[in-house]
Structure 1
């Protein structure tokens, strides 16, 4: 009896084990074939990939081009593709070598060690012309192809603008549950425009060459190589940015020249508030998340650049330019012996960046209107995000700069009743935080006569065939703006910063182009400062607005002014060359 009972229990145990094994196999092969385990592995894809060798010609993700439709991230590169099975068959290698003007021996030696398809281009000594590619493909040799492959540009300077992509199968399914056809290896946008325009950039289909192999790597179904391509004339799309590649490269070169560790610049077209170039340091490194942030979209203290807001409030409130301030006093009206500027009127106070003049003015104005500072910051576009936003298809509020941080002016409500807090706010300290993007846009608005516009960095989305899918219109920033009269007075003050013999921007007098602008130094409370210079040029017929900032520096010398100088000089040379 005991033996029978043990045998019965043993049989039940085996049956249960078999049942569990069958259930596990069913789970793997029938139920969770496309999302196996916590890692959401697609077992079908993995199985196919083990039995195929392929050459990716184009992953199908959308492209980025500059304002002149030059590629920003990817280029088409001519490549010769040779599949490894050519080692095991007779094929007319001599005909190929004659077209390429490369020895048959070199081609065969490359194939001997190949365990996957070879892609040979100019870097390997195989420089293919269109004529050569046509001749190669006319030979119709199985396993030999001349193709144009989408390849990443080895060095592109618009790293933070474009951003990076990565694989995340779980996020892919959560974000796009309706797109069942997407491979789990589909790239998703992580930062920058890749993230902002991700849904438009998703691939419709891949273009690739592939053939099936057995366990030893031999052709499984003969030597037929399949060409899988998407015939859709509309996809992938191209995101046409407003960036000028030549200017972007030049601005990046200037930033590198001064070895800026943290900071950057924003160059805008004054007429449209379109981004022509944007550089953020440190450089984007996809293996270091600390470099992912675009510093030009980060809200930081602007220092004395913010005096432009107080000046605008003073102008519209009737503070006369002849009003005098004792600039031997510090920002709180104390004579601590650190200042020795004497008695200055409003204009010279702005040119020399006298703190006491603007802290006094702010306190006086706030006695009449407690909201005057934020009102004029709003009129100059500093209290809202500067980047383009608006309806795009099913998006009610699509944002071209989703990573742009919110600005701030005040902290505690009690600050508005504190003379010292008002003083610190008036010179762009305390809780004042604005982005370099919005500062550049403020300068563009002043240069335009006060008209506020949202900043664009993408002009349009283009179908594969070149037609327009969506055109981003020029959007004005919401709310009131400064009057043309106030804008004219601010233009005068910004120019005095340069033309005054003791102005903080007097160095720019030696430029071959007239510059208007404002400097700023903001203490961070960490023993470092942010050094700014922001403005526009040419002063009389403004074309460019530029904001430069070196962040968290301990250096007493500001390289922000030097970068602004070199950038303006380069643009002046380009302007002169274009008019010859």
Structure 2
């Protein structure tokens, strides 16, 4: 063989080796990343050719695939449209990556999850087209509807939990949107819908219960009260605490005043329970300074602050800043400064107090069924996230929260014949805007079935708990009544 032929043979051999290495890399090492690329329409076409599993609430679909006579074969539809829009998210060929539960549970819905491996093998052997699994949510449809109606046209969020299990009973975020427009096979229409949605300054696609962080305002005083009891700063609900009209803050010329700039009690003192009833800023600011930033932060962490949770959608972690000085600790103790939280996290705080100090891991997906309705996985076993406070502390704080509803700022959450525990909140966030109105609660106080957190954006009154009590508390009451069948 002459030299040119040998050289040509070597080049051809190298080309074959390169091709083999490249194809092996693509098939085995890059396959998942390539399949996940939004620009890879082949993957979407393959997924569209299979029936995607449904998302169910109380036996009725809130997302399902309907057979159609076009190249995509299945059209994703959302029968309840806006009501569950931030829960389901959307699945759209035109947009690419799915949102919400459509994204978080994509493996189950497409049938590609590891838990469905045996079924995929069976489908391969029998020649049957693989279908996605159907997932059943923990949502209580009456509570969802009540939260949606009560929130009305306000921007904000409502989330409800079963305190004993962590099951999510309601998850509503306003404003909402119609995912059907995004799922349309008319790609021009879908693209216009996405352009309108994605550029809306109110961000309707945002699930405010888990994706957005807010200052919690006075609802955080429940955490501060729990920390003061756990650390021995106070011993019970009737412990005397400072309650001057204005609290001097060290290291600064700033002061912390009460809502009406009057003392919270005679002699500039009050009881812990009365301080919570009237939401006395100076009392809780003083407790914050006595505790110090680290103890306050540690107590919040026991309720779940700082944890990255998956329900299975990712929950943005709530936070209390580290290295707080005394004035910052005082402000943080009343839910201001840089304390930030999701509504889900504040529902977990209420649920933890309701559940004898035990905070349960929240979850949204109950049972998972195959396309044949066989149960693939049953309702998950409730999992304890943490023992946030002792049973004794939880009982003291619970009774104080009942007093807030019976005698204090949370009166509009009262339900006849039911002991309701709650706490109002007003959260400053922008000097040019009204504060957010908050309310957290649970009921019945002695055998809790539901814990609720409500935030109404810009729904409060500056330096007043009126917004939390007048605006947010009735929303929480409507949700609690729906769960309790009142």
Q: Same fold (TM over 0.5)?
A: yes
1:363 pairs with 2:295: no
Match of 2:313 among 382, 401, 404: 401
State which drifts further: 470-479 or 158-167.
470-479
1:247 paired residue number: 143
Q: How far apart are 1:372 and its partner, in Å?
A: 0.8
Q: Report the Cα distance in structure 1 between the residues aligned to 2:108 and 2:482, rounded to whole angstroms.
A: 38
2:229 paired residue number: 315
What are the Cα deviations for residues 16-73 of structure 1, in whole angstroms up to 9, with x where unaligned?
Answer: xxxxxxxxxxxxxxxxxxx9xx97677xx9xxxxxxxxxxx9851121001x322112
Q: Report the Cα distance in structure 1 between the residues aligned to 2:320 and 2:294, rounded to whole angstroms.
A: 11
The correspondence of residues 139-154 of structure 1 with structure 2, limited to 5 A, is: 151-153=77-79
2:358 paired residue number: 451
Q: How far apart are 1:487 and its partner, in Å?
A: 0.9
Match of 1:303 among 208, 214, 217: 217
Shift in alpha-carbon separation, 1:537–1:265, aligned structure 2, 3 A: same
What are the Cα deviations for residues 494-536 of structure 1, in whole angstroms up to 9, with x where unaligned?
Answer: 1111122xx1112334645321011111111343322100010
What are the Cα deviations for residues 189-238 of structure 1, in whole angstroms up to 9, with x where unaligned?
Answer: 5221011011222278xxxxxxxxxxxxxxxxxxxxxxxxx974862210
Shift in alpha-carbon separation, 1:160–1:332, aligned structure 2, 3 A: farther
What are the Cα deviations for residues 379-410 of structure 1, in whole angstroms up to 9, with x where unaligned?
Answer: 2223324544xxxxxxxxxxx022x2121101
Match of 1:354 among 266, 280, 304: 280
SS of residue matched to 2:108: helix
Give yes or no for contact 1:233–1:465 (8 Å, CA) kept in 2.
no
The correspondence of residues 33-432 of structure 1 with structure 2, limited to 5 A, is: 60-66=51-57, 68-74=58-64, 151-153=77-79, 155-167=81-93, 189-202=97-110, 232=128, 235-256=131-152, 259-260=153-154, 262-284=155-177, 286=194, 287-289=196-198, 290-297=203-210, 298-318=212-232, 319-320=234-235, 321-332=237-248, 338-342=261-265, 343-366=269-292, 371-388=294-311, 400-402=312-314, 404-410=315-321, 413=323, 415=324, 418-432=325-339
Q: Report the Cα distance in structure 1 between the residues aligned to 2:321 and 2:483, rounded to whole angstroms.
A: 42
Give yes or no for contact 1:332–1:423 (8 Å, CA) kept in 2.
no
1:476 pairs with 2:369: no
Q: Report the Cα distance in structure 1 between the residues aligned to 2:360 and 2:261, rounded to whole angstroms.
A: 41
Q: How far apart are 1:248 and its partner, in Å?
A: 1.6
SS of residue matched to 1:283: coil
Give yes or no for contact 2:160–2:171 (8 Å, CA) kept in 1.
yes
Q: How far apart are 1:538 and its partner, in Å?
A: 1.3
Give yes or no for contact 1:72–1:156 (8 Å, CA) kept in 2.
no
1:494 paired residue number: 401
Q: How far apart are 1:558 and its partner, in Å?
A: 2.3
1:523 paired residue number: 428
Q: Report the Cα distance in structure 2 between the residues aligned to 1:551 and 1:154, rounded to whole angstroms.
A: 25
Give yes or no for contact 1:302–1:522 (8 Å, CA) kept in 2.
yes
Taking structure 2 as the reference length, the TM-score comes to 0.72
SS of residue matched to 1:535: strand
Shift in alpha-carbon separation, 1:386–1:437, aligned structure 2, 3 A: farther
State which drifts further: 512-521 or 316-325.
316-325
State which drifts further: 159-168 or 377-386.
377-386
What are the ranges of 5 or more consecutive residues in structure 2 without an aligned counterpart? 1-34, 113-125, 179-193, 250-254
Shift in alpha-carbon separation, 1:240–1:274, aligned structure 2, 3 A: same
Give yes or no for contact 2:418–2:444 (8 Å, CA) kept in 1.
yes
Shift in alpha-carbon separation, 1:202–1:316, aligned structure 2, 3 A: same
SS of residue matched to 1:558: helix
Q: Report the Cα distance in structure 1 between the residues aligned to 2:85 and 2:426, rounded to whole angstroms.
A: 27
Alignment: residue pair count: 397
Q: Report the Cα distance in structure 2 between the residues aligned to 1:544 and 1:62, rounded to whole angstroms.
A: 29
Q: Report the Cα distance in structure 1 between the residues aligned to 2:141 and 2:280, rounded to whole angstroms.
A: 39
Give yes or no for contact 1:522–1:530 (8 Å, CA) kept in 2.
yes
What are the Cα deviations for residues 269-307 of structure 1, in whole angstroms up to 9, with x where unaligned?
Answer: 222111111110111354412322111112211011111
1:462 pairs with 2:382: no
Specify which structure has the higher proportion of helix: 2
1:568 paired residue number: 477
Taking structure 1 as the reference length, the TM-score comes to 0.61
Shift in alpha-carbon separation, 1:537–1:164, aligned structure 2, 3 A: same
What are the ranges of 5 or more consecutive residues in structure 1 without an aligned counterpart? 1-34, 46-56, 82-115, 118-147, 169-186, 205-229, 389-399
SS of residue matched to 1:348: helix
